[in-house]
Amino acid sequence: MPSSQDQTPGPVDPSRRRRPTLTDVAAMAGVSVSTVSRALDGNPRIPGETRQKVVEAATALGFRRNISARSLRTQSSMLVGVVVPDIAIAFYATVLKAAQNVLEAAGYQVVVMNTERDAQHETVALRTLQDRQVDGLLVATSGGYVPDRGPVVFFDHVIPDTGLGYVSPDNAGGMTTLVEHLAVVHGHTRIAFLGVPPGPTARTQRMEHAPATERLEAFRNVMGARRLPVPPEYLAYGDHEWTEASAQQAVAELMRVAEPPTAIIAAGDTLALGALRQLRADQYKVGTDIALVSFDDPVSSDLLDPPMTALRRHDRELGEISARMLLDALEGRKSGVAPKTEHPTETRVPLDLIVRRSCGCAPETPESEPPP
Amino acid sequence: MPSSQDQTPGPVDPSRRRRPTLTDVAAMAGVSVSTVSRALDGNPRIPGETRQKVVEAATALGFRRNISARSLRTQSSMLVGVVVPDIAIAFYATVLKAAQNVLEAAGYQVVVMNTERDAQHETVALRTLQDRQVDGLLVATSGGYVPDRGPVVFFDHVIPDTGLGYVSPDNAGGMTTLVEHLAVVHGHTRIAFLGVPPGPTARTQRMEHAPATERLEAFRNVMGARRLPVPPEYLAYGDHEWTEASAQQAVAELMRVAEPPTAIIAAGDTLALGALRQLRADQYKVGTDIALVSFDDPVSSDLLDPPMTALRRHDRELGEISARMLLDALEGRKSGVAPKTEHPTETRVPLDLIVRRSCGCAPETPESEPPP
DNA sequence: AACCTCGGTGCAAAGGTTTGCGCACTCTGA
DNA sequence: TCAGAGTGCGCAAACCTTTGCACCGAGGTT
């Protein structure tokens, strides 16, 4: 079996000694290192002919710039840090990927860090990233230390009134949609909310604008606006990790109250899944005995039993917007024009209601839904 | 609202001029930069007292090492590159996260790149990573350029017989489990395979040991071993991206053959989901009219209609093993002992069969399954 | 003919850290 | 008193690139 060598495209330094440096290229091309550097930059001061020579020498040697050296000199790493609670959660992974696409097109690479929803973790993550001299930050904060150095944009958990940019799902709008659907289309009045506990914990601080909090507030507001009661026992909470198990537990209790709700709004997809599991275990016929809708669309939720009515987020779009916002900041900073706030710095991206069956809606062309 | 400043723990350079350097610390502590460097390294040559002074000065100044400079000097970036087809796919995200945990514990950070299942993309990703001087690589290759410089371990798609380490799911064993269950427990003889086309495409090369290929081969082998027929029309293929839509299409055709299969094995979770969607659209009662089992467990597959029988991978374990294997290589290299092959360099991690209903098994304690 | 301009290029410094080498000093034992 | 062995620490090179400044020669201007 041949070595993998035979496949690598382009010329490669045959003497496996040492990566060639600018000096080597300069020697081969018969010019100075500065000329090589400039030629490779596409600097217009270097005429085509010289550039030609340089490029030839460079490719002949298989020359690649040493990024550490460059970073040291330019004080810029072309690295963007992304910090998320948990990259294994579909939302964060999708946002990351989308953001990454636009960032890479601009020449940046991405380093990820997980905070495990822990402010401490987040603090060290952010510090590590600073040590790395990342040029910018994309963060779904867990409520910890907020960086005050360098361009940063938040997504998911939001930090308003601080001048720092953010883009986040339209939690208020989405919740309104959900409540309206339940209340006006289906006539529910006993609507419960299944979320995670509001307020800070030992592991997190500053939760005022966490998605969970925003959704709960919005729920209260629109219920209030419709003169619908929100008795405390209709507020069910899972745990801070949004686990299915905790939701299951919470729903079990919720359904044991004297006058159980006729509809449940789950504040997230995992919560909705937990709720569904528990309701099924308790022999409820979801969609007829009780309505269940979800903020955030679980994957393949059209195949669930019953198919779940939910809000679809535009995760990819959100990631792209965030990245572009960051790129703007990066560019602005580079060209020295700091407060060039021409682009909007706070964005909410809307959510779409996907009506399926768990809310009680009739099965219209049940299987026609195209896959994601 | 106060600035975020009030939260940052530890002292911070109050004069926002410039990050302090070794020189600054040295000046403050009244020693030379080399001493500072060594003291901060915990070098035993520096006695406790001196170290004390240095550490105090460093923290007073809020000193943090400049990683670019260090990388330049040491020729090591403490960066590990992870390349995957698509980070938004749960498997890769989970593996990444697990690997990340062990890597970070060892002081490495992680930079991710997506290849979009395209050999070209992969090649440039790998090159970019090399430019970054990553110390090691964790790659789920899309069949492109194989790096021959520096420690690398593969997962998922495997490169055998090359001395390069890998850890990958036990595709053969898993497929055996699946076929046996269908054939001996349920007595099926007309078993179809739903996979993705084997062999290279324009976008990928060297697919011999891609998971899809391994699974197909295994299917053929165990069917053969059991003297079960594998007519060509029982081999259905989606597309190379494993999309649900393509699986749907393939299954639609599969069920139109003269003598349709009584059981289908889907080679991946998305494929299984597509199959399920199509079978439901075609009014089959999955689990009674026809059996469907899946390699790879779809998320919340116990809530599907019907709950899906599937193979559960130990993704986190796989990620951790890969990372540890890489770490071993990194250490070995650092201490100069290159071929110190004390640890196994090729590992297969087993899969567990989760019996649910789509295979035709009876509903035993249907809702008792604990959430993931 | 003296002066300017300007395109093209090179010199050398700067960026911050690590580390081989060796200096200066203090003990110990003869 | 001195050789020899530690001990504690500093010097300076090396890592590689970018970039301000200056130089040089050619062509144009006055």
Contact B93 A87 (CB under 8 A): yes
Beta pairing class for A263-266 and A235-237: unpaired
pLDDT at position A165 is 87
* CA geometry: angle A358, B93, B269, nearest 5 deg: 55
- The nearest CA of chain A is from the CA of B300 a distance in Å of 8
Which pair of structure tokens corresponds to residue A227? 């003169």
* Matching CATH number, B77-166+315-348, of 3.10.20.310, 3.40.50.2300, 3.40.50.1100, 3.40.1780.10: 3.40.50.2300
**Rounded percentage of chain B residues whose pLDDT exceeds 90:** 68
φ/ψ of B210, rounded to 5, equals: -65, 150
pLDDT at position A47 is 86
Instruction: Give the residue-averaged pLDDT of B194-222.
Output: 82
- Residues A58, A43: Cα–Cα separation, whole Å: 16
Fold of B171-312: Rossmann fold (3.40.50)
pLDDT at position A2 is 35
pLDDT at position A144 is 66
Across the beta sheet with A309-312, the strand order is A235-237, A191-195, A263-266, A291-294, A309-312, A352-354
The residue that leads in pLDDT, B269 or A163, is B269
Q: From B365, which residue of chain A is nearest by alpha-carbon distance?
A: A281
Q: Which H or E run includes B7?
A: none
- Residues B187, A303: Cα–Cα separation, whole Å: 27
Contact B87 A88 (CB under 8 A): no
Domain boundaries, chain B: 4-65, 77-166+315-348, 171-312
Q: Which residues pair with A154 in a beta bridge?
A: A139, A166
Q: What is the mean pLDDT of chain A?
A: 86
- Residues A238, B52: Cα–Cα separation, whole Å: 47
Kindly list the residues from chain B whose CB atom is less than 8 angstroms away from the CB atom of residue A126. none
pLDDT at position B189 is 96
Kindly list the residues from chain A whose CB atom is less than 8 angstroms away from the CB atom of residue B248. 371
- The nearest CA of chain B is from the CA of A228 a distance in Å of 32
pLDDT at position A299 is 86
| Per-position DSSP letters for A175-238, written without gaps between them | HHHHHHIIIIIS----EEEEE---S--SS----TTSHHHHHHHHHHHHHHHTT----GGGEEE-
The residue that leads in pLDDT, A159 or A244, is A244
pLDDT band at A109 (very low <50, low <70, confident <90, very high): very high
- Residues A76, B119: Cα–Cα separation, whole Å: 30
Q: From B370, which residue of chain A is nearest by alpha-carbon distance?
A: A245
Contact A298 B300 (CB under 8 A): yes
pLDDT at position B11 is 42
Instruction: Give the residue-averaged pLDDT of A42-63.
Output: 90
Which pair of structure tokens corresponds to residue A307? 């198919």
pLDDT at B43 over 70: yes
Distance B73 CA to C24 C1' (A): 29
CB A43 within 8 A of CB A74: no
pLDDT at A12 over 70: no
pLDDT at A327 over 90: yes
- Residues A275, A281: Cα–Cα separation, whole Å: 10
Chain D bases having any atom below 7 Å from a protein CB: 7-12, 14-20
The residue that leads in pLDDT, B344 or A259, is A259
CB A304 within 8 A of CB B303: yes
pLDDT band at A363 (very low <50, low <70, confident <90, very high): low
Distance B78 CA to D13 C1' (A): 24
Name A310's Cβ contacts closer than 8 Å, sequence gap at least 6.
Answer: A269, A272, A293, A294, A295, A296, A297, A298, A301, A353, A354, A356
CATH of domain A4-65: 1.10.260.40
- Residues A133, A127: Cα–Cα separation, whole Å: 10
Q: Which of B15, B109, B152 to mutate to test the interface with A (most CBs of A within 10 A)?
A: B109
- The nearest CA of chain A is from the CA of B226 a distance in Å of 33
pLDDT at A16 over 60: no
pLDDT at A14 over 50: no
pLDDT in tens, B163-193: 778 999 999 999 999 999 999 999 999 999 9
pLDDT in tens, B220-249: 999 999 999 999 999 999 998 899 999 999
- Residues B60, B12: Cα–Cα separation, whole Å: 8
DSSP code of residue B36: H
pLDDT in tens, B57-80: 999 999 999 999 999 999 999 999
pLDDT at A274 over 80: yes
Contact A148 B305 (CB under 8 A): no
Beta pairing class for A352-354 and B263-266: unpaired
pLDDT in tens, A203-252: 666 666 788 899 999 999 999 999 999 999 999 999 988 999 999 999 99
Helices (H), chain A: 22-29, 33-41, 48-61, 67-74, 90-105, 119-131, 171-180, 211-225, 244-254, 269-281, 315-334
pLDDT band at B13 (very low <50, low <70, confident <90, very high): very low
Torsion angle of C-alpha atoms B286, B288, B294, B298, degrees rounded to 10: 50
Same fold: A78-166+315-347 with A171-313: yes
CB B134 within 8 A of CB B80: yes
Q: Which H or E run includes A155?
A: strand A152-155
pLDDT at B263 over 90: yes
Contact A371 B9 (CB under 8 A): no
pLDDT at position A204 is 63
* Matching CATH number, A78-166+315-347, of 2.30.130.10, 3.40.50.300, 3.40.50.2300, 3.30.9.10: 3.40.50.2300
- Residues B5, B239: Cα–Cα separation, whole Å: 52
pLDDT at position A203 is 65
CATH architecture of the domain with residue range A171-313: 3-Layer(aba) Sandwich (3.40)
Instruction: Give the residue-averaged pLDDT of B333-338.
Output: 54
- Residues A25, A66: Cα–Cα separation, whole Å: 13
pLDDT at B339 over 50: no
pLDDT at A10 over 50: no
How far, rounded to the nearest angstrom, does the alpha carbon of residue B20 sit from its chain's CA centroid? 39
Q: Which of B17, B124, B132, B270 to mutate to test the interface with A (most CBs of A within 10 A)?
A: B132
Does the C-beta of B72 come within 7 A of strand D? yes
pLDDT at position B300 is 85
A94 vs B5, B77, B88: nearest CB: B88
